[in-house]
Structure 1
Amino acid sequence: MNQNQNQKSHQEQNTTNSKLLLYLPVIHSGYVKLLEKYPESEIFILDESLISLIDEEFDYLRKEIRSLSPNQAKLALKALFPERKISLLSVEKFLEISSQQIQEKPKYILPNEDIFVWLQKKYLTHKFVEFEPTFLRWNRNNSTQKKQIESSVEISEDEFSKKMMDVANNQKKLSSDWWRQVGAVVIKGNSGSSSKETIEKTLRDEKIIAIAHNTQLPTPYSPYIDSDPRNSFHKSENIDLSTAIHAEAALISKAAKDGVSLLDTEIYVTTFPCPACAKLVACSGISKLYFTDGYAMLDGDKILKKFGVEVIRIIK
């Protein structure tokens, strides 16, 4: 028996008597690959009653506009995998399974998503559960996950980028935000020269279009007058609920107000943009984004790459 056959045999042995639980609003290749990975597992699709139970806790599954009914999902999946045992899992059946005390304990395979983590902690604590780390949909766990910025290239800090980041860092110091201070500068496309003449010409404002920092509105002192609504949330949660305007948004709105095109310009920002600001940068015409710190969330780096924005991390 060769190595591949050994691996297949070992996998099938591990999945015998296992149960794969799925929330299946749509069918795509991610689900197909998951089922192919566990060829011997019995498949349970959450039905309306179990989805409703989960949504009492999460209150967002009902908003899934793509969603097939569980029965439609079952029929479609059965067409793809006619030999597999596929059932709908109701609240009653799930509670019965979770309370069973049997000698031979089956393995429950769950996608590593918010709803299944909750189900395991609340109902399956005494069961043998394996979480499968696969991307099937956006959920509360991966929507707030911090990621390495895959699309960036890294450069050593040259004289020109150092000066531009100095401008951004000086702006950063003006921010009244107690949690995070970000500075940014947008310039006309740079030829790549780091000569003293190029730097001096840029710093004479011939090429600098705008500089900005994140600040509160309508006044920088708003959090000290009315308190800061961000205090109600954990880090990275509800980042859109804020009285602040981000540095990138301030730059782009200033350019719009002044009637200045940002086509083929470059932005230097001290911290990698949030998802909303990444989209603003992508749609503004900016061609290069330089940053030193931070991480990507949601789809920010992918959107920039899709719109042709070159992302460059400056290594100090």
Structure 2
Amino acid sequence: MRKILVLYMPVLHAGYLRLFASLANRISEAYILGPEFTQELSPFGKEIRAVEPDVMRKVIEALELFPVVRVLTPATLDEVKDAEILTADEEISQAFAKKYLQGVPVTFEKIFLRWDTTRVKANENVAYARVSTDAFDREMADRAAAEAEKSSDWWRHVGAVVVRDRKIISESHNQHVPSEHTPYAVGDPRDVIEPGTMNLVYSSIHAEQDIVARAARDGAVLAGTDIYMNYFPCPLCAKLVATAGIKRCFFKTGSTWLDAESVLKAAGVEIILVQ
């Protein structure tokens, strides 16, 4: 059975080129989803970045990787139903396969091409630089965990300790404002939000946010310090840690989602798991 590539491809970037390189010797034809399919299946309708499929077809043809490159339309859909389909593991391709390729063998290639709903919600293991079993690092990570227990949050207790030259200069925990008693007085908005969704909707200030805010208020410099966490930072806090110039992030547990890990690494922050 012939193997063909069917792909949603609004733009061309390095991720697509890596995918093409990995498939070039395995497929005989490449099909780009036409606008009839993408406009129907995209949760946001037309994408402003998107290049017209026929223009993208010409670009891919110029790469000379595949013998045949076509735009897939409703009129040509039957051309792919007698083949084994390879496509990207992302939501539009999944939706297309589910609706239009029933009974056709489909392989979803694992590669990041763009943010979609599944990837935005996904939690990934943190790719830390190294593991520390140093006694001081353990002490500070345990201190962050102890600080976390001061939190009145119903869902998660997070603590942070900032250290310079092995001396503590700041520590905090996630806390509700204007009072720790706020969730008990008026309730917590997360009570009505499904766990794992709408992660940036909350009424508390995170431990890292509190540390950076108080440093700004007091004129304290965080550049060059280390931060110890019982949980890995969320994407917003990761940006604050990176922008504040903190150089090392120690954590005990937790996963990364959205761009938390990549933001820290781009800023040169070393990520260290404490065991």
With normalisation by structure 2, the TM-score equals 0.88
How far apart are 1:52 and its partner, in Å? 1.0
Distance 1:151 1:65, change over 3 A: farther
Give 1:288 deviation, angstroms.
1.5
* 1:120 shift after superposition: 2.6
More helix per residue: 1 or 2? Answer: 1
Question: 1:47-126 maps to which residues of 2 (within 5 A)?
Answer: 47-55=34-42, 58-59=43-44, 62=46, 64-81=47-64, 84-91=67-74, 93-94=76-77, 105-126=82-103
Equivalent in the alignment of 2:15: 30
Partner of 1:151: 128
Displacement of 1:295 in angstroms is 1.6
Q: Give distance in 2, aligned partners of 1:270 and 1:75.
A: 51
Unaligned runs of 5+ in 1: 1-15, 191-206
What does the per-residue CA deviation read over 1:158-196, in whole Å, with 9 as the maximum and x for residues that have no partner? 0x2233233312221111222211011112233xxxxxx
Q: In the aligned structure 2, how far is the partner of 1:69 from the partner of 1:244?
A: 44
| In the alignment, structure 1 residue 283 sits paired with structure 2 residue 268 | no
Q: Which of 219, 238, 256 matches 1:296?
A: 256
Q: 1:83 to 1:108 in 2, by over 3 A?
A: closer
Aligned-partner SS, 1:238: coil
2: CA distance between counterparts of 1:224 and 1:127?
Answer: 54
Q: Looking at CA atoms only, which structure, 1 or 2, has the larger radius of gyration? A: 1
SS of aligned partner of 2:222: coil
Aligned to 1:181: 157
Residue deviations 1:25-73 (CA, integer Å, cap 9, x gap): 2112332333341443321111222111012xx22x63x5532222221
- Matches for 1:239-278 after TM superposition, within 5 Å: 239-278=199-238
AA at the equivalent of 1:117: Q
Change (3 A) 1:81 1:186: same
The 1:97–1:245 alpha-carbon spacing in structure 2 relative to 1, beyond 3 Å, is: farther
Please report how far the alpha carbon of residue 147 of structure 1 lies from its aligned counterpart in structure 2 after TM superposition.
2.2
Matched AA of 1:87: R
Task: Check conservation: 2:145, 2:159, Cα contact below 8 A.
Answer: yes
Could you tell me the percent identity over the aligned residues? 34
- Please give the alpha-carbon distance, in whole angstroms, between the structure 2 residues aligned to 1:97 and 1:85: 12
Once the two structures are TM-superposed, the CA of residue 92 in structure 1 deviates from its matched residue by: 5.3
- Match of 2:138, SS state, is helix
Compute the displacement of 1:244 (Å). 2.1
CA distance in 1, matches of 2:192, 2:100: 29
Q: Secondary structure at the match of 2:156?
A: coil
CA distance 1:152–1:75, shift in 2 (3 Å): same
Is the 1:53–1:91 contact (alpha carbons within 8 Å) kept by the matching residues of 2? no
Rounded Cα–Cα distance in structure 1 between residues aligned with 2:154 and 2:101: 42
CA apart distance, 1:227: 3.6
Structure 1 CA distance for aligned equivalents of residues 66 and 92 of structure 2: 28
* Residue pairs, 1:210-225, within 5 angstroms: 210-225=170-185
Deviation at 1:232, TM superposition (A): 4.4
Partner SS for 1:273: coil
* Structure-2 change in CA distance of 1:73 and 1:270 (3 Å): same
Q: Work out the number of aligned pairs and report it.
A: 273
Please report how far the alpha carbon of residue 118 of structure 1 lies from its aligned counterpart in structure 2 after TM superposition: 2.4
Shift of 1:150: 1.8
Q: Closer, same or farther in 2 for the Cα pair 1:232/1:46, shift >3 Å? A: farther
TM value normalised by structure 1: 0.78
